[in-house]
Structure 1
Amino acid sequence: MNKKFWISNVLLEEGFIYDNKEVGGTKTGTYHLFIEDGKIIKIQKGDLPKDDNTILDAKGLLALPSFIEKHIHLDKGHFGGPWKASTSFHSVAQRIKEEEEFLPKFLPITRERAEKLLELITSNGVTHARVQCNVDPVVGLGNLERVIEALENYKDKLTYELVAFPQHGLLRSNSAPIMREAMRNGVNVVGGLDPATIDNDIEKSLHTMMDMAVEFNSDVDIHIHDGGKLGMYTINRLAQIVEEAKWQGRVNVSHAYCMGDSPLEEVKDLADRLASLNMSIATTVPIDLPAPPLPLLHQRGVKVYVVNDNINDHWSPFGTGDMLQKASRLAERFGFIDEYSLTRALGFATNGVTPLDEEGNQAWPKVGDDANIVFTEASCSAEAVARRTKKNAVMFKGKIVSGKL
């Protein structure tokens, strides 16, 4: 594709339409975008300028900011191969035992399966992913090496960050040495897992993880499945350690089921603490487990991401790879049924970027933004979320990487 070109007849949101002081609709207009060197250089209405540049006709498709996937496992997947359902779930420890048995046999197809998942999520509009990758004594850096190969083969479709994830327990499997080796080999996020029920030592597990993050000047992504008082205590203790280490803005808690089955006042207090430390939450918005109260967390200033996590692997046979579907599930799960709320739901899948800000002012796209765009058959973002509309084309840094215009 040419480095300079026009995208004509693009539908962009312009503002809210009010009905009795409530948002009753979204006003849109047709625009032309000039793209140069992967960035949006001009945004204009009216007649398309007559110049020698190539023109791609969007034919009235709605432009949305591309999606950010903040938690996905590319290794250990059945997707892309023969159908295989998961075995009955009994415990996280049981799943870990299963992994220890099949991971070495899986290595020859790990890169191929990772690429199938990358094709799935990029075709659905993801242009950045935080990738969780097993680092453990069972396969060493085997998974990591193969996932990096897959990601490098897709670097023209998305950017990524890598989490060294001690799936078998940081302490339980003595994974700290191999984790440090991973951090010296291009990984940029330290992972953690259930310090109480998997590592059986909250203090040592959290401190080992945080010490490693400080050593490598790395962000942290810890998976906490434990519910109730145990999970709440673990996150509170983590928050204290984050504050002591001055690691504000660099720690994410994935899952946090405990925030969905604990007293509301306790959840509010924890949410305020997370917000003060700029700690984020990533959730699949589960329907079979307690989901963190995302509207409450968002209202109290906690950064929240909806994520896919795993897609048809030995943990779960489900998953679509579609971030728009995840935003839609959030909206459905928490009663986001009005026009305004549906427009806000989109932001949970785009790192907070929405076409209109909370007051209805145009917020995206702006001149100078990367040309990372999803073109969809919708009249507005609210419709796109509610109806999970078709994505006709995905653009990454000014290049069509899926579909066509």
Structure 2
Amino acid sequence: MRDVRPWGGDRADILLADGVIAGIVEPAERGTWAETDLDGAGLLALPSIVNAHAHVDKSWWGLPWQSYGGEGGTDGRIRHERARRDELGIPGVDITTRVLTEMVTHGTTLFRSHVDVDPGLGQRGIEIVREAVASFDGAIEMEIVAFPQDGVLRRPGVLDLLDDAAAHGAEHIGGLDPASIDRDPVGQLDGLFAIMERRGCGLDIHLHDPGELGAFQLDLICDRTEALGLAGRVNIAHGFALAQVDAGRRAELLARMGELRITFTTVAPLRLPQLPWRELDAAGVGFAFGTDGIRDLWSPYGTGDTLGIAWQFARASSVVTDEDLTRVLRAATSEAGVYAGRPDHDIAVGAAAHLFLTDAENPMDALVRTPPRQVVIGAGRVLHDARVADRD
């Protein structure tokens, strides 16, 4: 890859070999380039975007428009989805592949996706998602969360399905609002942590419950993480309560989470307080961004652009300085690699070659304008080149 500006620095050539960044060197004279070399044309080069909270099994992307229906609220959306998903062929390999392809065009090559596991589906959703990912022949990478969207305890057999998914390679199991969905926070968490102990997987749990109810469940999660020695294996998705409790209570929670290496993922929800990222940083609590569902039976919104989610978070959090804008961008790129099994994700020698090029002056400009991703490279392969389409 010739003539790019890694992280907005001086122009350089990035040498790729066997899917890895083999070197970052001064740019060679154009006359010495091989015909197969990619001309970066001085574009800004950044590590690929990481979607750390997706639901790639749920979308109706590419189908005719589906009008919003059913009832609001978590339970209402679950019922509506269960009533219509078979009719729409969700989950399906073709739909999931289309969703992944769209996300790739936005610069994402690394994913963590929740995939529904329930008595109506069994493990079929996970099999479908794995088949869709495999169609990219190693150029994108994904960690899977076996996700009990319909509850853990209130549906007999779900714990067994989660255990089976973990036994067959799901990197994480999920959970969902132990108090408000199952109405048994102790029981749900005991069941989930038992699987973690037995199978060596992680836990990535949806927690929407607000205020002190949510904070109480965060306490329970910390208690079990500490008691069972499972530090570094728990992520909280959403975690709205953290931003809703008072500063003293939040400081206590964050101190424990930092010690236990519990992390957060956020979709930067509108109309709700954003994660207090400076406090997370001070406590050593990692965070990353995700799209959640896009164009699904929960909501017609979503483009698949995780950089747009980072933009939304930055603007809602009044992020304006160069240092802070870059910090937010890193949370969407290099520092989020750990959520997809790539802790070394960056433009650096020895790292897997996941990156994108965009027409931006610097990293701050890339976040603030979210310009189109011109070139997207996954594991050393060009997956998207908008310039070719423009020439055609």
Provide TM-score, normalisation by structure 1: 0.88
SS in 2 for 1:58: strand
1:85–1:316 Cα contact (<8 Å) kept? no
- The 3 A distance-change label for structure 1 pair 265 and 253 is same
Structure 1, residues 303-342: CA drift from partner, whole Å, max 9, x if none? 0011111101111211121121122112101111122211
Identical residues among aligned pairs (%): 29
Richer in helix (by share): 2
Consecutive unaligned residues of structure 1, counting only runs of 5 or more, are 1-6, 15-27, 355-362
Structure 1, residues 233-288: CA drift from partner, whole Å, max 9, x if none? 00111111001111100100001011122112111211111111000001101113
Match for residue 110 of structure 1 among 81, 92, 102: 92
- The 3 A distance-change label for structure 1 pair 29 and 211 is same
**Pairing 1:197-208 to 2, within 5 Å after superposition:** 197-208=180-191
Once the two structures are TM-superposed, the CA of residue 88 in structure 1 deviates from its matched residue by: 6.3
Distance 1:108 1:338 in 2: 43
Once the two structures are TM-superposed, the CA of residue 95 in structure 1 deviates from its matched residue by: 1.5
Consecutive unaligned residues of structure 2, counting only runs of 5 or more, are 338-344, 388-392
Distance 1:195 1:353 in 2: 26
Distance 2:65 2:219 in 1: 41
Aligned: 1:315 with 2:298: yes
Map of 1:295 onto structure 2: 278
What do you get for the CA RMSD once the two structures are aligned?
A: 2.1
Map of 1:38 onto structure 2: 19
1:132–1:165 Cα contact (<8 Å) kept? yes
Match for residue 255 of structure 2 among 272, 286, 289: 272
Match for residue 395 of structure 1 among 377, 380, 389: 377
SS in 2 for 1:60: strand
Richer in strand (by share): 1
**Pairing 1:214-233 to 2, within 5 Å after superposition:** 214-233=197-216
Aligned: 1:11 with 2:8: no
Distance 2:54 2:124 in 1: 18
Match for residue 377 of structure 1 among 359, 362, 369: 359
SS in 2 for 1:221: strand
SS in 1 for 2:41: coil
Q: Which moved more, 1:87-96 or 1:311-320?
A: 87-96
Map of 2:340 onto structure 1: none
1:104–1:139 Cα contact (<8 Å) kept? no
Distance 1:395 1:367 in 2: 16
Q: Which moved more, 1:335-344 or 1:302-311?
A: 335-344
Map of 2:342 onto structure 1: none
Structure 1, residues 346-368: CA drift from partner, whole Å, max 9, x if none? 111114179xxxxxxxx952222
1:123–1:402 Cα contact (<8 Å) kept? yes
Distance 2:196 2:336 in 1: 28
1:86–1:313 Cα contact (<8 Å) kept? no
SS in 1 for 2:144: strand
Once the two structures are TM-superposed, the CA of residue 116 in structure 1 deviates from its matched residue by: 1.3
Distance 2:102 2:134 in 1: 16
Map of 1:179 onto structure 2: 162
- The 3 A distance-change label for structure 1 pair 275 and 30 is same
Distance 2:91 2:260 in 1: 40
Distance 2:164 2:24 in 1: 47
1:107–1:143 Cα contact (<8 Å) kept? no
Once the two structures are TM-superposed, the CA of residue 74 in structure 1 deviates from its matched residue by: 1.4
Distance 1:90 1:180 in 2: 30
- The 3 A distance-change label for structure 1 pair 293 and 55 is same
Aligned: 1:136 with 2:130: no
SS in 2 for 1:177: helix
Distance 2:336 2:223 in 1: 30
Distance 2:299 2:282 in 1: 31
- The 3 A distance-change label for structure 1 pair 404 and 231 is same
Distance 2:33 2:54 in 1: 43
SS in 2 for 1:314: coil
SS in 1 for 2:203: strand
Once the two structures are TM-superposed, the CA of residue 51 in structure 1 deviates from its matched residue by: 7.2
**Pairing 1:311-390 to 2, within 5 Å after superposition:** 311-352=294-335, 365-390=347-372
Distance 1:304 1:321 in 2: 19
Aligned: 1:167 with 2:149: yes
2:52–2:336 Cα contact (<8 Å) kept? no
Distance 1:345 1:108 in 2: 33
Provide TM-score, normalisation by structure 2: 0.91
Distance 1:53 1:153 in 2: 27
Once the two structures are TM-superposed, the CA of residue 67 in structure 1 deviates from its matched residue by: 1.2
SS in 2 for 1:29: coil
Aligned: 1:286 with 2:269: yes
- The 3 A distance-change label for structure 1 pair 251 and 101 is same
